Structure 1
């Protein structure tokens, strides 16, 4: 039976690593879409946290622009008042929920009926079912926004994906959404755009069924912030990140405490080991 020597085994391992890295870079280079750049988010990093004002602006953009096509079926109105969220009060949430009409029932006569929303309801969906959603959007199904910021990602290529292992970079999805919302432009002259599609620099294949959703001053922010396309894209992307990971702040705080505990424990174990085995002659 053929047996690899130590030198040959190391050479094979090195060859496989180079092979994988080469094709990962080649695959990235073969893509036509632009590379998504890392954005500066308040919730990035070990001590990251959400900006309440930004989340409230993002909720406004979602409600006034995005909610006409995209649902958030896993987010409840009451979540808006929970710790680590946009910071709305319970009374404000009751008002927000009551502004949406919910189809409920059946009643005593077996009929469905409409009623004002309650904090215990999920965000109202723009469509009754998936077929209605497709029929209203030329056959394309607008994805649910609840966990989209975690469901999407980007191909960063070597060496960035390797660096990300050590930096804790976890914002690929929200970076992609932010870039996508800012990526609409006129297609190059030699680009063949299919009927009903729109050109986007960051979407795979550069053709997307969703038209540009954000324009200058699409909303009027209650806090007076200028509603540029970049600002609205940043705010709604941050809101989508919160919807996908509402316990992010708690998780990071707990993770830091656990890291400190493990560091202290490792020191105590090392000290104990030295004391216990100090009497043993080696």
Structure 2
């Protein structure tokens, strides 16, 4: 019976696991402990809030977060007033007005994170011909998920290239496919000052922003897990009831 139940849970919730790196010449990713892993895993709101700070102060200068609205930050543990204040720090283009012209205003909770560049061409022109990718789904788009993001930007990702390996104007990264990446090391010690007093080491910032990006890519993860567990409990109870009913019916037949 235990094996059957384990199989049912694995089948229903197997998609929650983070995929492993593909076979081949890719470097194996480090193993990280994530609070959201497993059937009963949940997001760490403190880590996500720190990750949001890293995104805002470090990543948002180049990378957009197009699919995340300010109101979604309520999921991180902020209240409505805090979300409104956070949104108001941003300038958002709106319009057209009565004269048919676009105008700028302070952000509101219903707005989405504004992109750092007006269009993809401008983003590419400012970054050596290649527009930085949007980060909304990055933690699910890459093989390895948030572990890949964390390893990529962590202290162990950007290392010296092997002897004879030409990098040109690019950077060498141990975990990036092909090892050549246009992005310079984005994190440095104490690049941000965490409001909760947590030491802002490169590894801590990499972990926090990866955690935040996992939530951005899959904001309904906790709800989905909760629903899946309830469904499985219902099915288990239903199966036991039907089994008992079958035994009773066949006992009367015999």
For residues 176 and 131 of structure 2, what CA distance do their matches in structure 1 show? Answer: 16
- RMSD of aligned residue pairs (Cα, Å): 1.3
How does 1:188-203 map onto structure 2 within 5 Å? 188-193=162-167, 195-203=168-176
Structure 2: segments with no counterpart, 5+ residues = 1-21
> How do 1:34-73 and structure 2 match up within 5 A?
34-73=27-66
Equivalent in 161, 175, 181 of residue 153 of structure 2: 181
Please give the alpha-carbon distance, in whole angstroms, between the structure 1 residues aligned to 2:46 and 2:188. Answer: 21
Q: Kindly provide the CA deviation profile for residues 187-209 of structure 1, in whole angstroms up to 9, marking residues without a partner as x.
A: 1112122x321100001111111
Question: How many Å apart are 1:263 and its aligned residue?
Answer: 1.1
Task: Map 1:1-282 to 2 at 5 A.
Answer: 28=23, 30-31=24-25, 33-81=26-74, 85-153=75-143, 172-182=144-154, 183-193=157-167, 195-280=168-253
Q: What TM-score does the superposition give when structure 1 sets the normalisation length?
A: 0.79
1:167-187 residue CA offsets vs partner (Å, 9 max, x unmatched): xxxxx3011111111211111
The CA deviation at 1:278 is 2.9
- Distance, in Å, in 2 between the alignment partners of 1:38 and 1:173 is 12
Q: Secondary structure at the residue paired with 1:68?
A: coil
CA distance in 2, matches of 1:199, 1:140: 17
* TM superposition shift of 1:276: 2.0
1:234-258 deviation line (CA, Å, top 9, x unaligned): 0000000111111111111111111
Q: What is the CA distance between 1:280 and its match in structure 2?
A: 4.4
Deviation of 1:134 (Å): 0.8
Distance in 1 separating the partners of 2:240 and 2:169: 63
| Cα distance in 2 for residues equivalent to 1:231 and 1:265 | 45
Alpha-carbon distance in structure 2 between the residues aligned to 1:78 and 1:279: 60
C-alpha displacement at 1:279, in angstroms?
A: 4.2
Structure 1 unaligned segments of length 5 or more: list them.
1-26, 154-171
Measured after TM superposition, the shift of residue 125 of structure 1 is: 0.6
Q: 2: distance between equivalents of 1:100 and 1:51?
A: 25
Distance 1:131 1:224 in 2: 39
Aligned to 1:141, the other structure's residue is in SS state coil
* Greater alpha carbon shift after TM alignment, 94-103 vs 256-265: 256-265
CA distance in 1 between counterparts of 2:78 and 2:102 reads: 31
TM-score normalised by L of structure 2: 0.87
Q: Deviations over 1:128-172 (max 9, x none)?
A: 11111111111122111111111111xxxxxxxxxxxxxxxxxx3
Query: If you compute each CA radius of gyration, which structure gives the higher value, 1 or 2?
Result: 1
Inter-partner Cα distance in structure 2 for 1:151 and 1:268: 42
